[in-house]
Structure 1
Amino acid sequence: MNYNILVVDDEIDNLQLFIRTFRKKYNVLTANSGYEAIEILKNNQVDLIISDHKMPEMDGVEFLTRTLNICPDTIRILLTAYTDASSLINAINNAKIYRYVKKPWNINDLTTIVDRALDVHQLNNDNKELAVDLKELFSGTIAAITGALDAKDSFTFGRSKRVTYYALQTGKYLGLSDSELSELELAGLLHDIGMIGVPERVINKPGTLSSEEYDAIKQHVIHGVKILEEIKQFEAVINTIKFHHERYDGNGYPFGLKNDEIPVSAKIISVADTYDAMTSDRAYRKGLSHESAIAELKKGVGAQFDPDIVNAFVAIIDHTLIEVKKMEMVFE
C-alpha cells in the first residue's frame, strides 16, 4: 500500500532529508509550520505524521493535539530534544503520539520506526473492517432470531422491534449512557427469545390459560437465558432478559426480586413490554386503546412498576407512537 506521510519541521534542510529518505516507499508531504500542516490535513488523507517538537508559533505537541479532531486515526510521531519526563508524558497523553524520537535521531532507526508505525496503522484499519463485518454478522444473527420468534406467533409480529423502540426512547429520557442504550436495544430485541421454547398450542391458545400452561409461559425467561448464556456477545444483556418479568413489589417471576434489586434496564423493558402486550390484538381478545393501556400502567405504579420508569414512559410515548407508525408503514 502506498501510504501518505506528512513531515512538519521549520527547518528546510530537515524536510529535504525526509523527502530523500522516504520518497521511494511512501508519498511524502511537507509543511514548515503547524498551521500549514493543518491545511494540508484538511485536504489530504494522511496515514502518518512526523512533527518536530520545537517550532515557532505552534509547537509540535499543540499541533499534534489539534490534529486529533481532523484525523483521529492517523499515527503521530514526535521528534524532540527534550528529556523532561513531564513534557513527554504530556505529549503522549494530549497528542496521543505513537512514539517520540529523541534528537539527534538516526535516519535508519527512524525509518524502522516509521515502517513499524505504518504496520500498526494497517492493522488498526484491518481490525476496524473486521469489527464492521462482525457487527453486520451479529445484526444478521439477531434479525434471524427475532424473525423466528415472529414466525412462531403471528399475532406478535414486529413486537420485539416496537418494545425495543419504546424502551430506547424511555432510556434516553432517563439519561442512560450510549453503552447502556446499546445494551438496552439488544435486550429489547431478544427479551422474549425464550418463547421459542414454549409450545405453540400454549402461545396461541384462544382462551384462558390453565395454571400449568401459565407456568409454561413463565418458563420462557429461563429458556431465553439458556439460549443466550453461552454466547459471549450477549453477556451484558442476560440480566435484563432474566429479570424483565420481576415486579417492583417483589411479586414477579422467576426470582421475586423487588425495587432496586431489579436492573433499570429490566424495569424499562417491563413497562415497554407490558404496554405493547396490552395494545396488541390477540386471537382471544382485542387490544386495549392507548389511553386504557396508559391508565393500566399508572395503576401498576408502586406495585408492578417503578414510578420513575412509568413517568418517563408516559412522557415519551405519544411522540414515540408516531415514529413507530411511520416505521411500520415503511416495512409494510
Structure 2
Amino acid sequence: MLRLKKYQGKNHWWAYMYGVGLLAIAIGWVSISSTMAEKTIALAMVFLVGMAGALRNLALERNRFYRASITDPLTGLHTFTHTIMLGQELLAQGNDSMLVLVNLDNFKNVNATYGHFIGNRILVQFAQRLRELWGAKAIIGRLGGDEFIAILPDLGKQRAAVTQQIEELKGQRYTADPDISPVQVEFSYGLAQADPERQGNVEELVDFADKEMYAYKLSRKTKQTTCQFNAEMPEDYRDILTVLSQKDMYTFLHSLYVAQYGVLLARKIGLDEEMVENIRLAGWLHDIGKIAVPNEILRKPGKLSQVEYQSIQKHVNYGLNLLHTFSMPTAVYNAIGQHHERYDGKGYPNQLKGDDISLSGRILAIVDAYSAMTIKRVYRRYQFSTDDALAELMRGSETQFDAALVNQFAQVLRDESREIEERQIS
C-alpha cells in the first residue's frame, strides 16, 4: 500500500489517489464477479494494481534518495561529487568555463562565538548570495564546511568580470539573529580557467584554483569579521585585537562596546579629549588578557567552578603583562588593571576601595558591567534590557560602583534613547 505521509507535493498526492482509485475498482469487481474465472481475473487485477503501486512507490523512493545524494542538506547546493560530475560533463562539451573556489576565512570562530545554529544560517545565506550572483546556469556546490565551488559556463575568458562579481560580495553582512549585530564574513577565493582546446579535467582546475586561493589568503593576511571595525580600532593595537577576535569574538565585540560606552560617560562628566581617548583605548584593551584564558572557560554556558573563576580573574594581570611593552598613559594602565575593583574594596586583583580606584578604573567598571549584561550571547537564558541592566547598576551603587558615575551613565543612556527616538520620528 502506498504511504502518503512519505511524500510531499501534488504529484505524489495524485499518484497516490490514482493507485487507490484503481485498487478500489479492482476490489469492487471482485465483490460483484459471479464466476470463478471472473474472480480469478479480478484478483489478478488487484495483484497487478498492487504491483504497480509498489513499483511507483519504489520509483519515488529512488528519486528521493537520488536527489538527497546529490544535494547538500544544509544549503541546497550540489554536493561536491555531483558538482565535479556536472563540471566534467561541461568540459567534455568543450565549454569555455571558469571554476571558482571560495573559502570563508576563520569561520570556525563564528561557530565558536555565536554557536553552530547561527553559523549554519550564515552559510545558507552565503549560498543564496552565490546563487543570486551567478544565476541558474552556474553549477554551484558546497565542498563541505566553509568552502564552496562554482563552475561558470561560458565565462572562461572573463576573469576580470568574474573577479569583480566576487568582490561585490565583500563587505556584505549576514543577519542570522535579530538580537545579534549583522556578521560580516571575509573570504578568500581562487579562479581557474578551462581550456576549450583540450578536454580538461575538473580536478586539475580545482587543484589550480585551490593553490591560487591560498596564495591569495596568505598575501592579504585576511582577518575574519574584524575588518568592519577597522575604522574604530586603535591603529597601534590592531594586531593584538585581531588575535583577541580570533580567540573569542564575544570578548572582541564586548570590548568595542565598552570603548563606546566609556567615551560617552567620559564626555558626559566633562573630561578633556585626551582623557576621553585614554578611556576609549582602555575599553578596547581591558579584556586583552583573556587571550591567555582557555576557550572552554571563556565559552562555558553554565556557572563557573571556583577554579575556573580564579582562572578568569587572572585575565587582568595577563593583560597588563601582554601590554607592558606598549607605551601608554598611566590612566589607560589604571583602567585596565582596576576595572574589576569594587567601590567597597571587595574586588580584584588588589582590593582597592573608593577613591583609591582611579577615575578611569571606576568608569570602566560601570561600562564593562553594563556591556556584559546587555550583549547578546547565544547560550544566555535571560537577556538584560537597558532598564534591567541600569537597575542592576543602581543596586550596585556604593558597593560595587561609584554611585555618582552610575547616575551620570544612566543619564547618558536616557539621552541616547531619546536621540534614537527622535531620529526614528523624523
TM-score (norm 1): 0.53
Using a 3 Å threshold, how does the CA distance of structure 1 residues 271 and 142 change in structure 2: closer, same or farther?
A: same
284-293 vs 200-209, which deviates more? Answer: 284-293
Q: Where has structure 1 moved over 4 Å in runs of 4 or more?
A: 321-324
CA distance, structure 1, for counterparts of residue 301 and residue 364 of structure 2: 26
Instruction: Confirm whether residue 147 of structure 1 aligns to residue 242 of structure 2.
Output: yes
CA distance, structure 2, for counterparts of residue 277 and residue 219 of structure 1: 18
RMSD between superposed Cα atoms in Å: 2.3
2:291 to 186, 196, 200: 196
| Correspondence list, 1:24-43, <5 A | none
1:218 to 313, 321, 338: 313
| Correspondence list, 1:96-111, <5 A | none
CA distance, structure 1, for counterparts of residue 307 and residue 351 of structure 2: 19
Aligned twin of 2:391:
295
Question: Percent identity at matched positions?
Answer: 40
Using a 3 Å threshold, how does the CA distance of structure 1 residues 154 and 307 change in structure 2: closer, same or farther?
A: same
CA distance, structure 1, for counterparts of residue 252 and residue 351 of structure 2: 29
Using a 3 Å threshold, how does the CA distance of structure 1 residues 179 and 157 change in structure 2: closer, same or farther?
A: closer
TM-fit CA distance, 1:229? 1.5
Instruction: Confirm whether residue 278 of structure 1 aligns to residue 373 of structure 2.
Output: yes
Aligned twin of 2:206:
none
Using a 3 Å threshold, how does the CA distance of structure 1 residues 323 and 191 change in structure 2: closer, same or farther?
A: farther
The letter for the 2-side match of 1:224 is G
The letter for the 1-side match of 2:351 is G
Aligned twin of 2:335:
240
Gaps in structure 2 of 5+ consecutive residues: 1-230, 421-426
CA distance, structure 2, for counterparts of residue 294 and residue 168 of structure 1: 18
TM-fit CA distance, 1:206? 1.6
TM-fit CA distance, 1:144? 2.8
Aligned twin of 2:54:
none
CA distance, structure 1, for counterparts of residue 365 and residue 417 of structure 2: 17
SS of 2:234's partner is: helix
C-alpha offsets along residues 110-139 of structure 1, whole Å, 9 cap, x if unaligned? xxxxxxxxxxxxxxxxxxxxxxxxxx9x93
CA distance, structure 2, for counterparts of residue 171 and residue 263 of structure 1: 13
Instruction: Confirm whether residue 264 of structure 1 aligns to residue 385 of structure 2.
Output: no
CA distance, structure 2, for counterparts of residue 300 and residue 208 of structure 1: 21
CA distance, structure 2, for counterparts of residue 170 and residue 204 of structure 1: 29
Instruction: Confirm whether residue 305 of structure 1 aligns to residue 401 of structure 2.
Output: yes
TM-fit CA distance, 1:145? 2.3
Is this contact kept in 1: 2:234–2:281, CA < 8 A?
no
TM-fit CA distance, 1:224? 0.5
TM-score (norm 2): 0.42
Is this contact kept in 1: 2:251–2:287, CA < 8 A?
no
CA distance, structure 1, for counterparts of residue 244 and residue 351 of structure 2: 26
CA distance, structure 1, for counterparts of residue 259 and residue 419 of structure 2: 13
1:251 to 336, 342, 346: 346
CA distance, structure 2, for counterparts of residue 283 and residue 214 of structure 1: 20
Q: Which has the larger radius of gyration?
A: 2
C-alpha offsets along residues 156-176 of structure 1, whole Å, 9 cap, x if unaligned? 442212111111111111111
CA distance, structure 1, for counterparts of residue 296 and residue 251 of structure 2: 15
Instruction: Confirm whether residue 317 of structure 1 aligns to residue 410 of structure 2.
Output: no
Is this contact kept in 1: 2:289–2:322, CA < 8 A?
yes
Is this contact kept in 1: 2:255–2:284, CA < 8 A?
yes
CA distance, structure 1, for counterparts of residue 368 and residue 263 of structure 2: 12
Using a 3 Å threshold, how does the CA distance of structure 1 residues 189 and 303 change in structure 2: closer, same or farther?
A: same
CA distance, structure 1, for counterparts of residue 329 and residue 242 of structure 2: 18
SS of 2:377's partner is: coil
TM-fit CA distance, 1:319? 3.8
SS of 1:304's partner is: coil
Is this contact kept in 2: 1:249–1:258, CA < 8 A?
yes
The letter for the 2-side match of 1:310 is V
Aligned length: 189
TM-fit CA distance, 1:181? 1.1
CA distance, structure 2, for counterparts of residue 255 and residue 321 of structure 1: 36
TM-fit CA distance, 1:184? 1.0
Using a 3 Å threshold, how does the CA distance of structure 1 residues 153 and 322 change in structure 2: closer, same or farther?
A: farther
The letter for the 1-side match of 2:281 is L
CA distance, structure 2, for counterparts of residue 322 and residue 185 of structure 1: 23
CA distance, structure 2, for counterparts of residue 235 and residue 262 of structure 1: 13
CA distance, structure 1, for counterparts of residue 419 and residue 252 of structure 2: 17
